[in-house]
Amino acid sequence: MKKTKSRSKKNSRPIVAIVMGSDSDLPVMKAATEPLKLFGISYKLQVVSAHRTPKEMVTFAERAKSEGYQIIIAGAGGAAHLPGMIASLSSLPVIGVPVSVGTMKGLDALLSIVQMPKGVPVATVAVNNSYNAGLLAAKILGAFDSKIAERISKYKDQMRKQVLKKKI
Ligand code: RP5
């Protein structure tokens, strides 16, 4: 389990884990941090590979809840089994991000992640759309935290105003 980056608010444990199969996923996966930063949610980025570091992946998934994480965002490309494997090992909600790699342009990862069999769900966002994974994580947390919910309401209101003032 190779750490790439850790950024959580001072004195606050990260509550969103952002994991990815390779450091080559980072350019796509870093956008997941944007909504989390915007809404003041602590997170930690790390590389955990289902096929290159399977033992570390199991350890990560089994310990995630007791380490204080509330949601896991997992991104991977190709035969992307990381989000599903983590979901199979943890009671935490997992949001999967299909990363576009190689000739299939992310369709392989999308199907691998979204087509999880009954009993082991992975909430899946669009190919390369890790921003939406961060936003969905914030909305799930906002269901139980009124401060986060309030910030999300303001964000939605701003989005609405930006569209309304557009002139074409
Ligand atoms: C997957 O294989 C990773 O998530 C990445 O998207 C892809 C390629 O990994 P690298 O060969 O660039 O390390 O496991």
CA of 25 to the centre of ligand 1 (A): 7
Model pTM score:
0.93
Bridge partners, 117 (sequence order): none
Query: What residues are in contact with ligand 1 under a 6 Å CB criterion?
Result: 20-22, 24-25, 49, 76-78, 99, 101
> According to the model, what pLDDT value does residue 147 have?
97
> According to the model, what pLDDT value does residue 12 have?
76
> According to the model, what pLDDT value does residue 3 have?
45
Report the alpha-carbon distance of residue 75 to residue 99 in Å, rounded: 6
> According to the model, what pLDDT value does residue 8 have?
46
pLDDT tens for each residue of the chain, 168 residues long: 444 444 544 557 999 999 999 999 999 999 999 999 999 999 999 999 999 999 999 999 999 999 999 999 999 999 999 999 999 999 999 999 999 999 999 999 999 999 999 999 999 999 999 999 999 999 999 999 999 999 999 999 999 999 999 998
Ligand 1 binding pocket mutation candidate from 53, 86, 101, 127 (most atoms within 8 A of CB): 101
> According to the model, what pLDDT value does residue 50 have?
98
CA of 77 to the centre of ligand 1 (A): 6
CA of 104 to the centre of ligand 1 (A): 13
> According to the model, what pLDDT value does residue 168 have?
85
CA of 22 to the centre of ligand 1 (A): 5
Cβ(122)–Cβ(96) below 8 Å: yes
Atom of ligand 1 nearest to the CA of 76: 4
